[in-house]
Structure 1
Amino acid sequence: MKILHISAQKPDSTGSGIYLSGLIKGMMQFSSEQALIIGIDLCDSIEKIYEKFDNRIDIYPMIYNKGVLDFDVPGMSDNMPYNSTKYSDITETQAKHIKEEFEKILENAIDDFKPDIILCHHLYFVTSIVRNKYPNKKVVSICHGTCIRQILSNNFQKQFILDNIKKLDMVFALHKEQANQIEKVYCVDSKKIVVLGSGFDNTIFYNKGYKKEGTIKLTYVGKISYSKGLIQLINALDNEKREFKNQIELMIVGDGSNKEEVNYIKKLALQSEVKIIFTGRVNQNELSQILNNSDIFVLPSFYEGLPLVILEALSCGNYVITTDIPGIKEWIGDEINSSGLIQYVKLPRMKSVSTPYDEDINEFEQNLRKAIFEAVKYRCEYSNRGKYIDISQLSWSNLSKKLYENLCSLN
């Protein structure tokens, strides 16, 4: 089976990019012929992207900041870890140029590669263009959650997207809650929706058995933005039980494209009584080292698709605190949920997709503070700093097998 993967953005730095990369590598055991269309900027190295996939796939780049695409790569989130263009800011002329340039690259890839299946990422604009242009080809797509947030938040090409997404041959959801959203928002026939789940690279993320002593290390990994709950996390740490104040430190891994938000969060961190370290963006091997040296992983986000970093943190031996994002508990499963190594914090009410009501923030910070206190106490008092759970069954290899079996059912 020849598979053409398509993403409108870069194949790294974000959860969906890592997901795409993990699937391509996992699918190599089933399909030796894969190709990829991606969006990159003129300054990005295509050679490094080839190396990322061991030079085993064909790549067809759509290059921005060049010619008529004289703007940054559009981002599925409004705050990306690199310079990007918000879909809500794209003009009709820019949308026309994106469609025309993408169709040229798509035609070239299909004529050259001749795929059996076209596998798109995100239920959004580029996927809709593929379905619209090739109504008789097998076209499927994976939802990462951010596409739902975009379709609910702005009117960019909304009707065109809604008209075409429901015509896809198959749609993959990350969890059951998301599958229900897809059916409701895009009017996709429930019979065409398959819950796929997520995975992680267990050859990189595994417990290396480091001896953990002294300071309890908390880690956050993701974009630096208001919607990730970082302000509330810093406030919660500052109001933590004073007996633990000098025993904990927080490492924030990642970056953000909204400099105003990034600068505000960093300024708040400087004023904190707790030591807070910003690492910037790191590669997967560096992240594995950080998580192996960490005790507690904290994800205070107000909105997520399916945060695979939770799996990476668990596999590296972290106790995990995460907001109770819809669908996460079901996806995580009973074995992990009953392990004593994961704790869920109730989300505040949301006035928009990722913006909480102000009057609920104080209670959310109190709940987050309580969860952190319990996690620190667990690590300090019960000699469980080395306890972890084996989740290797959730690897990209196993997820790719499930995907491949579903794709085969279409032929």
Structure 2
Amino acid sequence: VMPYESTRFCDLSEEDLNEYETAFSEILQNAIHRFKPDIIHSHHLWIVSSLARQLFPNIPMVTTCHGSDLRQFQNCPHLQEKVLLGCRKIDVIMALSEAQKKDIIRHYNLASEKIMVTGAGYNDRLFYLTSKPNPDPVQLVYAGKLSNAKGVPWFLRALQSIRAPAWQLHLLGSGSGTEKEQCLVLAKEMGKKVIVYGALPQNSLAEIMRHSHILILPSFYEGLPLVILEGLASGCRIVATDLPGTREILGGSDADFITLVRTPRLRFIDQPYREDEYSFEQNLKKAIWQQIKAASRCAKIELSPVQEKLDSYTWAGIFKKVKEAYERCLT
């Protein structure tokens, strides 16, 4: 569910899908006629990328996988054949992580050599370390969709029972429907301790992160969580679920300003078993409380243990890998 009026792919009728493909076919053909590209670079291993490959089989094509496409692939088995028809013929696929590469190979039955792990980059001109405010209260930040898949209700319930040291949460992001409303109700119960912003532009997000002490990402599913890189670069301590993409970013770091929480067992790709919810909430509470205590004693962290990793994920570092994907596609 998107934070604007939308229809889920799983709810589209055959007629809806035909209209969707017809509309994009016309737009794609106009774009190719106008720009005459040497390479097509699409995003998401999903319907439009498959369509583009079928419409323009003679133009080299690169596609970036983001993770949400893999979720759709698993959630919409009736669309898999339509997706695979073109996506299996894409020349080079860029994955966000090694874990995601394995998922692409498994679900799309693609050769390993077709897939490059390029990762994703953050803007180091926006996200950088400055002096931190007095940690009384300790400033927490969450940035992402207000939804169950992001673990937000469990995170907010975990926060409710942390009384000390003093903290304040900056809740950034949008959502829709009952899940968003549930998150806002939980936030409202904590009064002035939670500031709700809605969706913000990158420069505003960066400013809040530079003045925060801890970034929290309780998601049940992520490709490569870019927000963790942005938070680290801004000098935030990290509390996050131990998803494969997160572990890959942090590279086995044993820095005391990073705490990974065990992800609960999932019934579906992003829905926990009910009997595991309480223990997940308690583990999250413990991790957050420990980092709040640490931040209250020392507001600033030393980034040297993760600096090399951060450098490799800047926009400049990532574009080197993207350029390599383009060159491979053309040879």
Query: Common fold, TM-score beyond 0.5?
Result: yes
2:301 to 382, 387, 397: 387
CA spacing shift, 1:110–1:243, aligned 2, 3 Å? closer
Asked if 1:316 corresponds to 2:220, the answer is no
Q: Is the 8 A contact 1:298 1:320 kept in 2?
A: yes
Once structures 1 and 2 are overlaid, which stretch shifts more, 349-358 or 159-168?
Answer: 159-168
Q: Is the 8 A contact 1:212 1:293 kept in 2?
A: no
Asked if 1:91 corresponds to 2:48, the answer is no
Return the offset for 1:331: 2.9
1:216 to 105, 130, 138: 138
Q: How does 1:23-102 map to 2 (within 5 A)?
A: 79-102=1-24
1:281 to 194, 199, 206: 199
Query: Percentage identity across aligned positions?
Result: 36
Distance in 1, matches of 2:19 and 2:302, equals 50
Give, as a single letter, the amino acid of the residue that structure 2 aligns with 1:359.
E
Q: Is the 8 A contact 1:350 1:356 kept in 2?
A: yes
Q: Is the 8 A contact 1:122 1:142 kept in 2?
A: yes
Q: Is the 8 A contact 1:197 1:331 kept in 2?
A: no
Distance in 2, matches of 1:370 and 1:395, equals 32
Correspondence for 2:90: 168
1:152 to 67, 74, 85: 74
Correspondence for 1:344: 260
Q: Is the 8 A contact 1:238 1:273 kept in 2?
A: no
Return the offset for 1:399: 0.3
Once structures 1 and 2 are overlaid, which stretch shifts more, 188-197 or 351-360?
Answer: 188-197
Asked if 1:192 corresponds to 2:114, the answer is yes
Asked if 1:248 corresponds to 2:167, the answer is yes
Return the offset for 1:132: 1.2
Correspondence for 2:40: 118
Give, as a single letter, the amino acid of the residue that structure 2 aligns with 1:92.
E
Q: Is the 8 A contact 1:207 1:317 kept in 2?
A: yes
Any idea what the Cα deviations from partners look like across 1:336-359, whole Å, max 9, x if unmatched? x23332211000000001000000
Higher relative contact order structure (alpha carbons within 8 Å, sequence separation ≥ 6) = 2
Distance in 2, matches of 1:103 and 1:243, equals 57
Correspondence for 2:293: 377
Distance in 2, matches of 1:141 and 1:156, equals 22
Any idea what the Cα deviations from partners look like across 1:81-121, whole Å, max 9, x if unmatched? 33322111222112111211211111111111111111111
Q: Is the 8 A contact 1:234 1:272 kept in 2?
A: no
Give, as a single letter, the amino acid of the residue that structure 2 aligns with 1:401.
K
Unaligned stretches of 5+ residues in structure 2: none
Give, as a single letter, the amino acid of the residue that structure 2 aligns with 1:371.
A
Give, as a single letter, the amino acid of the residue that structure 1 aligns with 2:32.
I
Report SS of the residue matched to 2:31.
Answer: helix
Give, as a single letter, the amino acid of the residue that structure 1 aligns with 2:216.
V
Distance in 2, matches of 1:173 and 1:225, equals 25
Asked if 1:257 corresponds to 2:176, the answer is yes
Correspondence for 1:304: 222
1:134 to 56, 69, 91: 56
Unaligned stretches of 5+ residues in structure 1: 1-78
Cα RMSD for the two superposed structures: 1.6
CA spacing shift, 1:251–1:156, aligned 2, 3 Å? farther
Once structures 1 and 2 are overlaid, which stretch shifts more, 105-114 or 180-189?
Answer: 105-114
Aligned length, in residue pairs: 325
Report SS of the residue matched to 2:77.
Answer: coil
Length-normalised TM-score, structure 2: 0.94
